[in-house]
Chains A and B, each alone.
Chain A
Amino acid sequence: MSKIESEFRVISKFIAQWALPNEGIPLFLIWKGKFAFDSVEIEMPESFVVRRYYNINKKDLSSSRRIGFDELKKEGYIGIVFTSPMLEQVSEKVQVILRFVKDGEDVYREEFETHIIRPRIELEIPERIELLPNEPVKANIGLRYTGYGNIYFKIIVSGDPNKLVFDVKDFRDLFLVMANSNTFKQFMHRNCIPEEEFLGSKVPEDQFEYRELLLDTSQIGEFTAESFFDTIKRVMDNKKMMEILERSMDRSEDVTMSLFKSIIDFVEKRPVESVFLSETEIKPVQFDEGEKSLYVCIGYVDDFGNYYTQTKKIPIIVKKKNAITFGSRWDERAGNWEWLKEE
């Protein structure tokens, strides 16, 4: 080892210090000085996969962890991109080692360290629920955000495990998508309506009759992306749209309160900093008498698009036909980044 040290010098090395599962983690090493080695062995956990090589002409993909000297396009530079599998805990320290091997012995090694991170929701549900006659029952679902990065969240509560379907309660979200769509902007443009005027604060919730609008122009039965866009297209060509837009603008003389309401709504949709809810309200679930089960299913997506899901079952004893309403309680224990400071 000492023989090469005099000629050999690392110019630059890099590993992404953190990444989500399945996100590409780049690593490179640039060095100066020639020294003899037969191959570079990449040491990393078994479940990790090398996705890309830089400056390497891979002849044999089956030996993805071994780079032969003759596979280097140019001396002095090695780069790879690898990915990790899904992770159970919120963070895991991972070591990656590049071993330069000559005649079966290490002549040089370079160690890298990265952290695989993820966000997680911890779900706290009542152990069991008893539905008594004449007593309203409210079940509280505790949700705690832990870990790293943003999540986009959906919660579904259902008495029937086969019916864990996202229920489009109203068309509000559709409207937002619609208002942001290019077709809509073109429509505004064609009709000489300045976009700002509409997209500004002038369209408070209760005054804009998009429900009426959508229901008027189509029968929304089965809800699919196709049917939604079909509906939008139909709406765009409808002259009634203009009238309704005008009417809602007339009636928007005072939006102060609706502004406040909207801010509350925004805060509700961001119950903790890293969470974005697509639904803030959970519908009550009806039960007939007997011993039943309630399924609470949460699903969320991280910044990379990894999908995490969890379903919990609550036993329920129903003394009399009744409904359960739900409340949710959030708190946040974001992961610390102390390990970054250590390096």
Chain B
Amino acid sequence: MVEGGIVLAKKSLDLAESSASFIEKIWQKINIGEPIATSVTYTYPKSQMKTTRTYRVPDTRRSLFRTKITLPAGNNFQIISIYDVDTGLDYADISVQREEGKVIFDPSKLPASCERLMITTLNDVEKTFLRELVDVRVSEVASREEPDKEKHWIVAVIKNEGLLKPFYKHATLEDIDVGVGINVDRQYSTILRSDNNPLIRLMRANQNIFTGIDQNKRSLEQVGKTQRRRILQEEKKSKEDIFAELAHLCLPELFKNYLTTDNPNLIYIDARRTENLMTFGNIIIPIPSRMTVTVFTTLRLEEPAQKGNLIFNRADFCNDATKIIKTHFKI
């Protein structure tokens, strides 16, 4: 088992290294001068890497400008810009051609006078490679030092600097996503058990009915219709509506109102429902039992770690849910 784990880890590292060396080989082919600045940006959601190299072009190299350079077009590789740094003009359109399976770079199309060139490339990278670069962690338990709030610590760090450092002076890992799970059903547990809750008061007031069902296993039909009507304001809204309204609170654009982070570098972006739905007894209700919140952050070689907290304002969520419940039931 341990051995398997090691093999797996090695495989993903190998993959990571081959992914990093792909672009390195391309740069070796381009080799039109001395690189004076190098940088790389990995964009996590798109699984892309953008590399930029600025070259000083010595006169001795200009003879090389006559030969076309053929580059592999795998991994969606493309040269997106070739700037003459001094004039600010982009020569990518005229000097780069894409043919089936290859990208052809023709340096003879570049102005003979240019001294500094900035070339930017873009290509897809394996998700495994991106995961190999960083480690993200989120607390399993949400803290409650303020009863109204639940707090998760979040940390994202560069794990394998070795994969970046030899090649680039500047590296940016952009929009690294960190998933945080928020328990929705736990909130409902609080709402339903609170002493002020209309439902609980109602259940206490109608204890006979409920305990009757529970203990004697009487069929539901035996409970009088009038009693049922008394409890539920049937004329007002149907039961489906209450669930739809409660589920509404978990729509990403609304759910995010309950979330904040305490570090401006941890940007909360998205909330997603998990597949699991809440169950009340045997009834499965289309309300997610858990939400997955995605926090994005950016790391740099010179800023290799980010830390902070995601805060869920549970009191606001519980208040809003209680309001919905109250409009559906007589108190």
Contacts and interface: CB of A to CB of B under 8 A. Distances in A.
B192 A303 contact: no
Contacts of A81: 135, 137
A274 B144 CA distance: 12
The range of chain A's interface size is: 35 or more
Interface of A is mostly: mixed
B281 A338 contact: no
Interface stretch (A23-31, A220-228, A283-291, A320-328): A23-31
Given A18-B143, A267-B193, A52 B135 contact: yes
Given A16-B139, A269-B281, 12 more contacts: A12-B307, A23-B140, A26-B157, A150-B141, A150-B183, A199-B286, A200-B243, A257-B223, A258-B220, A264-B210, A304-B140, A337-B143
Interface of B is mostly: mixed
B213 A261 contact: yes
B71 interface: no
Contacts of B157: 26, 28, 54, 79
B203 A260 contact: yes
26 contacts: A14-B305, A28-B155, A28-B157, A28-B307, A30-B305, A57-B162, A74-B165, A179-B284, A200-B284, A203-B283, A256-B228, A256-B232, A257-B223, A257-B228, A258-B220, A259-B239, A260-B210, A261-B213, A263-B192, A264-B281, A266-B188, A266-B192, A267-B189, A270-B186, A273-B189, A340-B143
Interface string A188-204: 00000000100111011
Interface centre among B153, B234, B283 (most CB of A within 10 A): B283
A321 B199 CA distance: 43
Nearest to A24: B137
A54 B284 contact: no
A201 B282 contact: no
Contacts of A260: 203, 210, 231
A200 B193 contact: no
A307 interface: no
Nearest to A266: B280
B137 A16 contact: yes
Given A20-B141, A54-B135, A261-B214, A176 B282 contact: yes
Interface in B109-165: 135, 137, 139-141, 143-145, 153, 155, 157-159, 161-162, 165
B12 to A, nearest CB: 15
A152 B213 CA distance: 27
Interface stretch (B17-25, B28-36, B53-61, B271-279): B271-279
A263 B307 CA distance: 39
Nearest to B144: A337
Interface in A227-284: 254-267, 269-270, 273-274
B190 interface: yes
A18 to B, nearest CB: 6
Contacts of A257: 209, 213, 220, 223, 228
Contacts of B239: 201, 255-256, 259
Contact of A337 (B145, B213, B305): B145
A208 B276 CA distance: 21
A57 B239 CA distance: 60
A302 B231 CA distance: 37
Contact of B203 (A172, A264, A274): A264
Contacts of A23: 139-140
A199 B284 contact: yes
Contacts of A17: 143, 153
A205 B234 CA distance: 21
Contacts of B219: 206
Interface in A39-86: 52, 54-55, 57, 73-74, 77, 79, 81
B235 interface: no
Given A26-B157, A262-B280, A337-B145, A77 B304 contact: yes
A20 B140 contact: yes
Contact of B305 (A77, A148, A196, A338): A77
Nearest to B183: A150
Contact of B153 (A16, A302, A304): A16
Contacts of A169: none
Interface centre among A54, A117, A206 (most CB of B within 10 A): A54
Contacts of A30: 303-305
